[in-house]
Amino acid sequence: MSKYKDYAEKPVEFLALTGYTHQEFEALLPHFEKNYSEWIKHHRLARKPRGQRAYSTYKNSPLPTIADKLFFILHDMKAKIETPLDDELRPEYDETLLKNGVRGRNIR
């Protein structure tokens, strides 16, 4: 089941995750769908021009519907707004340190 469907039935959690009520989300969805469809015709997800291959949603896609895509984007944007300094304060970790469970701040 999609994350959108999981949270669409929970208005308090939906608002907390996206910053939008379900009614506001539903009003935004057709506009997002139109613009997303037009954009994806000409661009890849990596923001590069699309070649000959047309866009298609894979069967096992984690974001199978347009509502799931919008839900993910709104949730991601809200999370970044609420913690704007997180990426700046987070130190760069060495891969070997991460594998061993050592955080960069603990090393002196």
pLDDT in tens, 15-48: 988 999 999 999 999 999 999 888 888 887 777 8
Question: At a CB cut-off of 8 Å and minimum separation 6, what does 89 contact?
Answer: none
Q: Is the pTM of this model over 0.75?
A: no
57 versus 76: the higher-pLDDT residue is: 76
Tokens standing for 9?
């039935």
3-state secondary structure (DSSP) of residue 49: strand
What does each C-alpha distance from 1 to 5, 30, 36, 55 come to in angstroms? 7, 21, 22, 23
Question: At a CB cut-off of 8 Å and minimum separation 6, what does 15 contact?
Answer: 21
